[in-house]
Amino acid sequence: MKYLMLVCVDPDLPDEEAPGSPDIEEWVRDTDAKGIRLIGNRTRPGSDATTVRVRNGEVLLTDGPYAETKDLIAGFDVLECADLDEAVEVAARHTMAWNGVIELRPFWVDGDDD
Amino acid sequence: MGDEAMSDEVTRGETARSKTAHSETARELIAEIYADGWSRIVATMIRFTGGNWDLAEECAQDAFTQALRRWPAEGVPRQPLAWLTTAARNRAIDHMRRTSTEAAKLRQLAAMETDPPNSPSPSYTSDSEIPDERLELMFTCCHPALNLDAQVALTLRALAGLSTADIARAFLVTERTMGQRLFRAKQKVAHAVIPFRVPPAHLLPDRLPGVLHVLYLLYNEGYSDQQHKARLGVEAIRLARVLAALMPDEPEAQGLLALMLLQDARRPSRIDADGELVTLEEQDRSLWDSARIDEGTAVLERALRRGRAGAFQIQAAIAACHATAPSFTTTDWAQIVGLYDELEKVTPSALVELNRAVALSMAQGAETALPIVEEITASGRLDGYYLLHATRADLLRKLGRDAEAAESLQAALELAPTEAEQRLLTTRLSHRPPSG
């Protein structure tokens, strides 16, 4: 099962890193070696984002992030895991689970109903 | 596997008993296995179908239906649980063959067919620390990726075999709403691939709130239908004892056990010789089980000493106030009001507000309590709940506002879930001179 792992900052947390936070390089090495992490990267902040909408056939661009996501998204990874328990275990070892918040979204699978 | 194998087993299980005795025994046995084995078969089927809860339940149900049709005529198979499991599995395989999206899962099944075909019961091995299989399955069901209500509803449906209507009543929502909630929960289980796996010991505390609520609602289900479901109450207390022993450092687990014991102590006086419900006010307190009250009070005191009072401990404390009061009028209502204040802080809900209002009416009079009940009524939060209207009727009558009281009583009667409750309302509220 594939999960999109949205890596987000938590504005309510203090700036300093939580004690005992895991190392991100090690997380990447480990999940890559196990074939769990298919792709992933940090993303530039919302000030570098462009929002795209097509309305009445016209492409409308906005400088900046979609209002709802603001500056929350800091990066993403795509995980291939046996089930949600494994995905949770992998996410919990990511430094941003300690210093931010991680959302796991299962991929839509062909044949899924709404 | 397949029908031939099952008929073979049936033949081998044939005895010389007469046909009528036979069919009688078969039906009793099926009822017994249903109570004991339902959760085990559903759990086996959830694993077998790769997490398709709907299909698991449907196949388990179908297996019991087949048994009801065949066992009375053909005899009880030698290994009834294995027969039912095989029937359920065959049904699942049929279904998956028909559904193309399930084809991939069917291929996985081939790999799982390693159980010996004639194993006496569904294969179930686990090295977890939970000393009771049914409790272990409840912890397995209550996955924290589901919200608490969803955990509880799913567990009651899948493992305890409660109907959607029963669960809806326990949550004070309509059957339609509960049906949608169950549907959404099962969808999330399927889409997010939430595994049906016994959690390791260090994850049990995360799942404890769900399991506690499941046990309490099971207990209530048994309590409210003594005639048909008494067994659920007995089982819930047994499991609460196992849980309290398993997690001695969790005061809420002790609190739940205390609450059940204190409530159960009053059970003998709840129904009179004619089978009618008796209100707390009119119950014969000499019938109360003093051993249970002592045990419940002792368990509660030990729990409260840990200084982490949660909802179950507070409710147990309220039950203790009732259980140790010499009479209805001399009950320490002021203390009960205070305890409801605490409960409201921990788990705010309209139901808690209503119960607090009832206690307040006893402590300070109907005129103090009525505005609270009016506020709840106006908000519509407990609109479908008959006791809201019954309470309002009671307070209005005490204040001499008979016409309005009669209206509320009518609303309560229309919503009362059973005839016994309707009769109780009629006798209690309509033939009573205004007082207070």
pLDDT digits (tens, 9 = 90+) for B300-331: 999 999 999 999 999 999 999 999 999 999 99
The predicted model gives B257-263 an average pLDDT of 98
Q: What was the pLDDT predicted at B225?
A: 80
Query: Which of B372, B375, B347, B346 has the alpha carbon at shortest distance from B359?
Result: B372
Which residues does chain A have within 8 Å of residue B187's beta carbon, measured at their own beta carbons? 113
Q: What was the pLDDT predicted at B107?
A: 57
Question: CB neighbours (10 Å) of residue B115?
Answer: 13
Which residues does chain A have within 8 Å of residue B197's beta carbon, measured at their own beta carbons? 83, 85
Element (H, E) at A102: strand A100-106
Q: What was the pLDDT predicted at B185?
A: 94
Residue A88 is classified by DSSP as H
| Residue numbers of A between 70 and 89 with CB closer than 8 Å to B | 82-85, 88
pLDDT tens readout for residues B69-119: 999 888 899 999 999 999 999 999 998 888 765 566 655 555 454 444 444
What DSSP line would sit under A34-84, residue for residue? TT-EEEEEE---GGG-EEEEEETTEEEEEES--TTTTTTEEEEEEEE-SSH
Domain A2-106 sits in CATH at: 3.30.70.1060
Apex CA B393: angle with CA B391 and CA B397, to 5°?
120
Which residues does chain B have within 8 Å of residue A92's beta carbon, measured at their own beta carbons? none
pLDDT tens readout for residues B5-59: 344 334 334 444 455 666 778 888 888 888 888 888 999 999 888 888 889 999 9
Token match 């099944």: residue?
B109
- Between the alpha carbon of residue B402 and those of residues A58, A110, B35, B226, B434, the distances in Å are 68, 63, 47, 34, 8
Q: Which residue of A has its CA nearest to B144?
A: A85
Cβ contact, residue pair B195, A84, below 8 Å: yes
Query: Which of B309, B212, B286, B199 has the alpha carbon at shortest distance from B253?
Result: B212
Q: Which residue of A has its CA nearest to B200?
A: A85
User: What distance in Å separates the CA atoms of residue B404 and residue B394, rounded to the nearest whole number?
Assistant: 10
Q: What was the pLDDT predicted at B67?
A: 93
Q: Any idea where the domains of chain A sit in the sequence?
A: 2-106
Q: With a cut of 60, say whether residue B434 has pLDDT above it.
A: no
Cα dihedral sign for B14, B15, B17, B23? negative
* Percent of chain A residues past pLDDT 90, beyond the cut: 72
Which residues does chain B have within 8 Å of residue A104's beta carbon, measured at their own beta carbons? 192
Confidence of residue B244 (pLDDT cuts 50, 70, 90): very high
Cβ contact, residue pair B193, A111, below 8 Å: no
Q: What was the pLDDT predicted at B371?
A: 97
Interacting residues of B337 by C-beta distance below 8 A, sequence separation 6+? B356, B359, B360, B363
Q: Which candidate from A85, A88, A112 shows the least CB-CB separation from B191?
A: A112
| Residue numbers of A between 38 and 77 with CB closer than 8 Å to B | none
Q: With a cut of 70, say whether residue A101 has pLDDT above it.
A: yes
Element (H, E) at A95: helix A95-99
Q: What was the pLDDT predicted at B106?
A: 58
Give the pair of three-digit tokens for residue A61.
Answer: 């661009």
Nearest chain B Cα distance for residue A101, angstroms: 15
Q: With a cut of 90, say whether residue B154 has pLDDT above it.
A: yes
Q: Which candidate from A82, A88, A106 shows the least CB-CB separation from B191?
A: A106
Cβ contact, residue pair A85, B191, below 8 Å: no
* Percent of chain B residues past pLDDT 90, beyond the cut: 65
User: What distance in Å separates the CA atoms of residue B261 and residue B255, rounded to the nearest whole number?
Assistant: 10
Cβ contact, residue pair A88, B193, below 8 Å: no
Specify which residues A80 forms β-bridges with.
A2
**What ipTM score was computed for the predicted complex, to two decimals?**
0.88
Confidence of residue A22 (pLDDT cuts 50, 70, 90): very high
Q: Return mean pLDDT, chain B.
A: 87
The predicted model gives B413-424 an average pLDDT of 86
Specify which residues A75 forms β-bridges with.
A7, A42
* Residue B101 touches partner A, C-beta closer than 8 Å: yes
- Interface A:B, Cβ pairs < 8 A: 24
For chain B, the three-class secondary structure string (H helix, E strand, C coil) is CCHHHHHHHHHHHCCCCCHHHHHHHHHHHHHHHHHHHHHHHHHHHHHHCCCCHHHHHHHHHHHHHHHHHHHHHHCCCCCHHHHHHHHHHHHHHHHHHHCHHHHHHHHHHHHHCCCCCCCCCCCCCCCCCCCCHHHHHHHHHCCCCCCHHHHHHHHHHHCCCCCHHHHHHHCCCCHHHHHHHHHHHHHHHHHCCCCCCCCCHHHHHHHHHHHHHHHHHHHHHHHHCHHHHHHHHHHHHHHHHHHHHHCCCCHHHHHHHHHHHHHHCCHHHCECCCCCECCHHHCCHHHCCHHHHHHHHHHHHHHHCCCCCCHHHHHHHHHHHHHCCCCCCCCCHHHHHHHHHHHHHHCCCHHHHHHHHHHHHHHHCHHHHHHHHHHHHHHCCCCCCHHHHHHHHHHHHHCCCHHHHHHHHHHHHHHCCCHHHHHHHHHHHHCCCCCC
User: Hey, of B54, B183, B193, B206, which one would you mutate to test binding to chain A, going by the most A CBs within 10 A of its CB?
Assistant: B193
Give the pair of three-digit tokens for residue A78.
Answer: 């795509």
pLDDT tens readout for residues B193-240: 999 999 999 999 999 999 999 999 999 999 888 778 888 999 999 999
